[in-house]
Amino acid sequence: MQPLRSTTSLALVLLLAMIGLQGNAFADAKHKLVIQVSTDDVRTQNIALNNAVNLQKALGDDVQIEIVAYGPGLSMLTPKSPASKRVPDLALYENITFSACGNTMKNVSKKTGKDVTLVDGVKVVPAGVLRIMELQEQGWTYVRP
């Protein structure tokens, strides 16, 4: 009975290790870029999205991209923005992520009395500027279109 328990334990450890490695497939990407979006100008928002698409096409799996939206730029991640229509499809790429500023969301909710609705594929971070700073401290390149 003991060998079966050891074999099962070993299999479980290997499975968990494989899942952990899969979840971090892009953590070791050679290139890492954070793109700041802090304006509600749709043209600038589309430029940010174009930057991400072009870089992903050029580098494929060798790049990790995070678009961080805060302040008026949060609108890019809400259904009302024309630019937001591209976000759910881009979020399907494993190496492109979208982060919405939790501080901005709280302030907008307080001001309007309504919760902010985000499009699919967007995660919320506590603070957009903090997220950008953390990524830069980890060696990520910063771009603001």
- Predicted structure pTM score: 0.81
pLDDT tier at 28 (50, 70, 90 boundaries)?
Answer: confident
CATH number for region 28-143: 3.40.1260.10
Domain boundaries, the chain: 28-143
- Give Cα 108 to chain centroid, integer Å: 21
Give the per-residue pLDDT at 29.
87
Residue 82 burial (C-beta neighbours within 10 Å; 0-12, 13-18, 19+): exposed
pLDDT tier at 6 (50, 70, 90 boundaries)?
Answer: very low
**The one-letter amino acid at 18:** M
**Which value, in Å, is the radius of gyration of the alpha carbons in the chain?**
19
pLDDT tens by residue, 83-139: 999 999 999 999 999 999 999 999 999 999 999 999 999 999 999 999 999 999 999
